[in-house]
Structure 1
Amino acid sequence: MTNLNQLIVHHRSSHHARYSGYARLIDFLDEPQIIQGKNILPYRLAKGISQLSNQQAGLYDSKSVQKEVELYRLLRNTKTPGIVHYLNGERDVRYVLNYKKASRSTKFCASFHKPPEILKATVKNIRYLKQLDAAICVGANQVDFIKKWLGIDQVKYIPHGVDTTFFKPLIHKRSAKKMLFVGQHLRDFEMLNRTIPEILAKDASASLDVVLKKEFQAKVQLTSDRVRIHTGVDDETLKRFYQEASFLYLPLIDATACNSILEALACGLPIVTSAVGGNMAYLSGSENFLIPANDEEQFIATALSLLAQPDLCLKIGQSSRELSIRYDWNNVAKAVEVFYQEVLT
């Protein structure tokens, strides 16, 4: 990417493991300049400025202010054509977009992560977002909505990535009849709580590991001693859960991209999840299971069928691993950089 400044406005969700999350994109781009939000302004001043900003235009806190000051200084001192990429379009996007008036050689884009219904409900003031030149959607279900919502023509679905070097299968560690549920965002805990007792009652050897943040522990209302809840796990432990499970059991309310699905694919697991949002595009052409969101009986029947067929789990798991290569961060980063060039031309 010769003579192209890649200015990446960093954001990392606190619940993501070291090898998870969209911020991993930075590690695979060609010499990006990363705007982290250095403490340039006194904290109280930055906080005061953020409190004056309309929060209905997306999250904007003291760290957002520091990112804007840092970004503005970089833009002011460069004459090379460049792209500013907000890793999370649901936050941090504000006043530096006025810089567009002074520099036609700099283009602004953002990646969006929330499903359309959540975007509409949480970002009601779109005056700043409408100034973006382009948008990246991590879910195929976002594209038409973002185009219409923001009035942007250059909108592209580029999948979320996964680190297939870190997340990888270890077949000899597979444990018979062990299901795995990971995460909390947009998880369908009601479906989990309704179906797992039925599955465990019909298969006395089955068990479930649940990995999530401690503050969501109460969402899991399962009392069986074959249900184990784990919080605060480190990266290696998380990977081990994937590597030892028979399959990922993950009912969802909605989705764009789901880290847990991508990581499970990379670790060679079959996926049992809901036919919602971006899931269909991510699992397209695979042998994994997309179940209508309210079909309790099909969730139960699918889980019981897989629990009874370990060889089938291994077979589907192999195809899952092959599918995950499509989402390897190296491939995703290349697609993002091609998009940067499209936006600049």
Structure 2
Amino acid sequence: MPEALERTVYVVGPRWHHHAAHADYAVAASLACQLSAQVKKLNSPIEYRWLSRALVRRLLTQSKGEPNYSLGTLLTEIVVARHMWRRGGSLYHLLYGERDRTLARSLPRLFTRPVIATFHSPPARLAHKGIDRRRLRGLEAVLVVAASQRRYFEEQGVTRVFVTMHGVDTQFFHPAPAPAAGPPRCIVVGGHLRDFETLGHTIRLIRERVRGLRTVILGAPTRWQQSLYSAGGGSVEFRYGISDHQLLAAYQASSLALLPYQDATASNALLESMACGLPVVTSDVGGVPEYTGSDGAILCPPRDPEVMAQAAVRVLDDPAYARERRVRGRTRSLQFDFSVAARQLLDVYATVLGDAGMASG
């Protein structure tokens, strides 16, 4: 059991709108709130009319050099700043350090409150986003969702880095009662850091070897539609803006998940596919093998469509092998249920509060 918390921890940040409600990192924080009365959400909205429009314009103009700085970020900063000013002895956890990096830089120094932040991007993306020593200086600790991120933060001078693995709702995302019937169907989910060039070549190679192949692609950038449609010989369906239940149905109706990545740390699509008992063929990059282990998915060298196609064809042609892959993927996914992720967060909170001399009154 996680150590009891004797100080309050406030988690900051709603889920990303494009993430399934049953797979976003914020779900683990919400469950931590249920497990401990000392963990609370801090997502209180602030009325826009509470601020003068002139002040809002001036603050946004001053922050123009900050990538992705928006009105939403500004309002969140104000909510958190007001809260910090009124309360002492609390720990604040920014769930998405990349999105709220201005908070991570400024608020700890202004209010001398301990702040921790979780970062989700691979090292190359962190550098591109300007997550550097200067922006990390005020943080009490950094949380990462894959061990492959640790070295980057240590090189930026962060002395406390905790690996807290991402999670998935394994009760919601679950296998269908029976394997999907009908023609073979591949599913591709998501667009962030996906290797669509390799995907197109892989689909073409699979289609040449497996008759009747259908491919369902959820969330691909529109600029890739034509090339992917051609690669699939017209047997490609694109879907956007579907509900969580429609997403679950799409997984359960598929024979195989095809997930080529350019880079990755944690991946909702990977964990969702495994939890649904889908055989997964994916790229051996970044944090992917930390989640799949040696047998939770079929790992292929990056940018190698031939190897990826061979792995997919074996799954589609060999029912016994496909059944084995389904069981292994589902079993592996249970290690990342959100109940596990929430307890990891509580352990980190207790450690950070103790290190900061705040574990008890």
After alignment, is 193-202 or 41-50 more displaced?
A: 41-50
1:196 maps onto 2:203 in alignment: yes
1:119 aligns to 2:129 (yes or no): no
Q: Kindly state the Cα deviation for residue 38 of structure 1 after the two structures are TM-superposed.
A: 2.4
Q: Distance in 2 between matches of 1:103 and 1:122?
A: 25
Instruction: Determine what percentage of the aligned residue pairs are the same residue.
Output: 28
Q: How does 1:16-35 map to 2 (within 5 A)?
A: 16-30=19-33, 31-35=39-43
Match for residue 142 of structure 1?
149
Q: 1:93 Cα shift?
A: 2.9
Deviations 1:162-219 (A, max 9, x none): 1111111114252352111111001110011112112111111322111115645537
Show CA shifts across 1:132-187 (max 9, x none).
111111122101111212x1111011111111111111142523521111110011
Go from structure 1 to structure 2 and tell me whether the alpha carbon gap of 1:50 and 1:8 turns closer, same or farther (over 3 Å shift): farther
Give 1:303's aligned residue.
Answer: 312
Please name the residue that 2:9 is paired with.
6
For CA contacts below 8 A with separation 6 or more, give which structure has more relative contact order.
2
Q: Does 1:48 align with 2:48?
A: no
| SS across alignment from 2:23 | coil
- Kindly provide the amino acid, as one letter, of the partner of residue 152 in structure 2: F
3-state SS of the aligned residue for 2:229?
coil
Deviates more, 1:216-225 or 1:191-200: 216-225
Root-mean-square deviation (CA, aligned residues, Å) is 2.2
Q: Is the 8 A contact 2:180 2:253 kept in 1?
A: yes
Say which of 326, 329, 334 aligns to 1:317. 326
Amino acid of the structure 2 residue aligned with 1:222: Y
Is 2:277 the counterpart of 1:268?
yes
**Partner of residue 210, structure 1:** 217
Query: Is 1:229 matched with 2:276?
Result: no
Q: 1:96 to 1:211 in 2, by over 3 A?
A: closer
Matched residue SS, 1:156: strand
- Residue 252 (1) aligns with residue 261 (2): yes
Q: Aligned partners of 2:44, 2:276: CA distance in 1, in Å?
A: 31
Counterpart CA distance in 1 for 2:137 and 2:227 is 40
Q: Deviations over 1:270-311 (max 9, x none)?
A: 110001010011111325211110222111111111110122
Structure 1: gaps of 5 or more residues: none
Change (3 A) 1:338 1:298: same
CA shift, 1:43, in A, is 7.2
Distance 1:186 1:95, change over 3 A: closer
1:22-72 deviations in Å (ceiling 9; x for gaps): 22223211241323552364373335313312544x532211121121112
What SS does structure 2 have at the residue aligned with 1:164?
coil
Is contact 1:211–1:230 with CA below 8 Å preserved after alignment?
Answer: yes
* Structure 1 contact 90–123 (Cα < 8 Å) conserved: no
Gaps of 5+ in 2: 34-38, 355-361
Counterpart Cα distance in 1 of 2:203 and 2:134: 45
Asked if 2 retains the 8 angstrom alpha-carbon contact of 1:181 and 1:210, the reply is yes
1:174 to 180, 202, 207: 180
Tell me if the contact between 2:12 and 2:95 (Cα under 8 Å) persists in the aligned partners: yes
Does structure 1 residue 92 correspond to structure 2 residue 95? Answer: no
SS in 1 for 2:186: strand
Q: Distance in 1 between matches of 2:213 and 2:145?
A: 34
Q: Give the SS at the match of 2:228.
A: coil
Structure 1 residues 267, 96: CA separation in 2 closer, same or farther (over 3 Å shift)? closer
Partners of 2:194 and 2:261 within 8 A in 1: yes
Matches of 1:20 and 1:324, distance apart in 2? 12
Q: Deviations over 1:90-147 (max 9, x none)?
A: 122335755545766x421111111111111121665232211111111221011112
2:289 is equivalent to residue 280 of structure 1: yes
Alpha carbons of 1:273 and 1:101: their partners in 2 closer, same or farther (altered >3 Å)? closer
Amino acid of the structure 1 residue aligned with 2:125? I
- d(CA) in 1 for partners of 2:105 and 2:285? 34
The C-alpha deviation readout for 1:256-279, integer Å capped at 9, x for no partner, is 111000100111111100010100
Q: How far is the alpha carbon of 1:338 from its aligned partner?
A: 0.5
Structure 1 residues 37 and 127: alpha-carbon distance in aligned structure 2, compared to 1, 3 A threshold: farther
Q: Normalising by the residue count of structure 2, what TM-score does the alignment of the two structures yield?
A: 0.87
How far 1:3 moved relative to its partner? 2.9
- Partner residue, 1:161: 167
Secondary structure in 2 matching 1:272:
strand
1:72–1:96 Cα contact (<8 Å) kept: no
**Preserved contact between residue 9 and residue 36 of structure 1 (Cα < 8 Å):** no
**Structure 2 CA distance for aligned equivalents of residues 281 and 52 of structure 1:** 40
Paired letter, 2:209: K
Q: Identify the range of structure 1 (237-246 vs 172-181) with the bigger mean alpha-carbon deviation.
A: 172-181
CA separation of 1:102/1:210 partners in 2, compared to 1, >3 Å: closer, same or farther? closer
Distance (whole Å) between structure 1 residues aligned to residue 158 and residue 79 of structure 2: 26
Count, aligned residues: 341
Shift of residue 15, structure 1, vs aligned partner: 1.7
The aligned amino acid for 1:23 is A
Closer, same or farther: CA 35–219 of 1 in aligned 2, 3 Å:
farther
Counterpart code for 2:91: I
2:249 to 211, 223, 240: 240
1:68 & 1:112 partners in 2: Cα distance? 18
